[in-house]
Structure 1
Amino acid sequence: MLFDEVTTLIEEHTRDELEEQLTELKEEQEAVASEFDASSLEEFREQLAEEELSASELRERRNVIATWEAVNTELALVKHALHLYGDVVELTSPKNNSSSSFA
C-alpha cells in the first residue's frame, strides 16, 4: 500500500512539485507547532493531558492532533517519493524493456 501511494505521487507530480509540496507541508507542521507552543506531536499530546481544558478546547485539540497526524503522514509519503523518484521513473519509463510492471 505504501509503495502504491508513493508511486502514485511520483506518477502524478514532478520532482519540483514534490519538493514544493514538502515545503508546504513542513510550513503547515511548523505553524501548528508554533500556534500551540509544541515542538512535536508527542509534546502536544503531553500538553493535552497536563493542562486543564474545557470539553470544547479538548475537541479542538483532538482536531489539531488529527491534522498534525495527517500532515506527518503526508510528509513521510512525499519524502519517500522524493527519495525513490529517480529509481521509479527509470523503472517505469517506456524505454525500459523490462517485463515487470508496477500496475
Structure 2
Amino acid sequence: MLLDEVTDLIAANSRDELEQQLTELKEEREDLMPEFDVRSLEEFRERLASEELSAAELRGRRNVVATWEAINTELGLVKHALHLYDAVVELSSPGTDTSSRFA
C-alpha cells in the first residue's frame, strides 16, 4: 500500500511539485506549534491529558491531533516519493521492460 501511494505521487507530480508539497506540509505543521505553544505532536498530546478542558475544547484539540497526524503521514509519503523519484521514473521509462506510467 505504501509503495502504491508513493508511486501514485510520483506519477501525478514532478520532482519540483513534490518539493513544493514538502515545503507546504512542513509549513502547515510548523504553524501548529506556536498556535498551541508546543514543539511536537507528543507534547501537544501530553497537554491534552494534563489540562482541564471542556468536552468541546477536547473535541477541538482531537481534531488538531487528527490534522497533525495527517500532515505527518503526507510528509512521510512525499519524502519517500522524493527519495525514490529517480529510480521509479527510470524503471518506468520506455527503455525498460516495465510499463511506462510515469514518463
Q: TM-score, normalised by structure 1?
A: 0.93
Q: C-alpha deviations, 1:2-47, integer Å up to 9, x for none? A: 0000000000000000000000000000001111111111110001
Contact 2:94 2:100 in 1 (8 A): no
Runs of 4+ in 1 over 3 A off after TM superposition: 100-103
1:61 maps to 2:61:
yes
Q: Which residue of 2 aligns with 1:39?
A: 39
Structure 1 unaligned regions, length at least 5: none
Where does 1:53-92 land on structure 2 (aligned, <5 Å)? 53-92=53-92
Q: Which residue of 2 aligns with 1:52?
A: 52
Q: Which residue of 2 aligns with 1:6?
A: 6
Q: C-alpha deviations, 1:23-78, integer Å up to 9, x for none? A: 00000000011111111111100010011111111000000000000000000000
Percent sequence identity is 70
Equivalent pairs, count? 101
Q: Which residue of 2 aligns with 1:24?
A: 24
CA distance in 1, matches of 2:52, 2:82: 41
Matched residue SS, 1:19: helix
Shift of 1:102: 8.9
Q: Which residue of 2 aligns with 1:15?
A: 15
CA distance in 2, matches of 1:101, 1:31: 41
Matched residue SS, 2:53: coil
Q: Tell me which of the two structures has the higher relative contact order, counting C-alpha pairs closer than 8 angstroms and 6 or more residues apart.
A: 1
Q: TM-score, normalised by structure 2?
A: 0.93
Counterparts in 2 of 1:102 and 1:53: CA distance versus 1, 3 Å = farther
